[in-house]
Amino acid sequence: MHAGRGDDWEVAKVALRDIPKALQFPGRVPVTIVPWQDVPDFSLSALEGDEALLAEMIDMKPADVARELHDMAPERRVEVAHALDDRQLADAIEELPEDEQVDLITLLDPERAADVLEEMDPDDAADLIAELPDDVAETLLERMRPEDAQDVRDLLAYEDDSAGGMMTPEPVIVAPDSTVADALALVRVEEVPPALAGMVFVCRPPLEAPTGRYIGGVHLQRLLREPPSTLVSALIDNELRPLLPSAELATVSRYFATYDVLVVPVVDAERHLLGAVTVDDVLDHMLPEDWRGLQMEGALTPDEDRRG
């Protein structure tokens, strides 16, 4: 800026940089200086508003980011989606109503859409892919990392309302000779959702689904009560039976009610661990089909005027 007439100041040049990266790594992002007149459509108040919104979104829960996106006009929603980083956008998309998930992912260019799908939980990515036209779905799967695409393809082979269709192929898995300390280090990882952290599964190598022979599950609370050097194989809940991927929603929901757990194992006929179903996966399938849309409109929120 420089002094203009009287007491006024005028903007002469503008520093431009990528907003999301600037928020994450200030000082490390190249800055381009351009004359003000070279950006005739530039609005300082609009930029400040965008940067403030994005900065605020960094500290929001995914459901709150999704609500912000839901309340925006479609064009504005896409603009903000482009500015969010892949992980944050993936988390928010998982919380949007199904039709808005489809609209948003198809409006991104295929490379960006594939990057976002890679960051989503595999079961949520599979649900979204299943709603896309076949040619679009295949294009995105081809652009995803092979291992991520394979996880999604494997899940798409199961019925949507079955244990196989609801499960995630990324539960917490440990070897029989792992200790309590080893297991707790894995569930302590920030990226592990709370429900998945409720139990670790003991399996023979390989330890990525599909694993070697499934041995059993150990509850998080049991891990917290035992000495760090104790072997997890000595703490297995022998009453917790695994589900087959063909188990229907009614069977899965009764299982959760019977065993009062947050996550259950899913194995194949040879007892290889394929994945795990979490209680929130079950709730997603038991609630009304458009429950996310209803929630966005406040239909699933208690009427504050009726509270005591």
- pTM of structure: 0.76
Averaged pLDDT, 81-103: 94
Say yes or no to pLDDT of 163 above 60: yes
Tokens of 179: 């200790």
DSSP assignment of 207-261 equals -SSS-SBEEEEEEHHHHHHS-TTSBGGGS--TT-PPBPTT-BHHHHHHHHHHHT-
Confidence of residue 305 (pLDDT cuts 50, 70, 90): very low
Cβ-in-10-Å burial (0-12, 13-18, 19+) of 199 comes to buried
Alpha carbon 124 to chain centroid, angstroms: 7
What CATH architecture does domain 61-157 belong to? Answer: Alpha Horseshoe (1.25)
Contact between 202 and 236 under an 8 Å Cβ cutoff? The reply is: yes
Domain spanning 173-286: which CATH class is it, in words? alpha beta
Given a cut of 80, whether residue 46 has pLDDT beyond it is: no
**Per-residue model confidence (pLDDT) at position 23:** 47
27 against 121, higher pLDDT: 121
pLDDT in tens, 111-133: 999 999 999 999 999 999 999 99
> Nearest-CA neighbor of 294 among 101, 123, 96, 125?
96
Tokens linked to 86: 């892949």
Q: Give the mean pLDDT of the chain.
A: 87
Residue 228's identity, in one-letter code, is P
Q: What is the pLDDT of residue 301?
A: 55
Report strand pairing: 263-267 vs 13-16.
unpaired
Q: Where exactly are the structural domains of the chain?
A: 2-42, 61-157, 173-286
The pLDDT of residue 295 is 72
Contacts of 197 (CB under 8 A, 6+ apart): 172, 187, 220
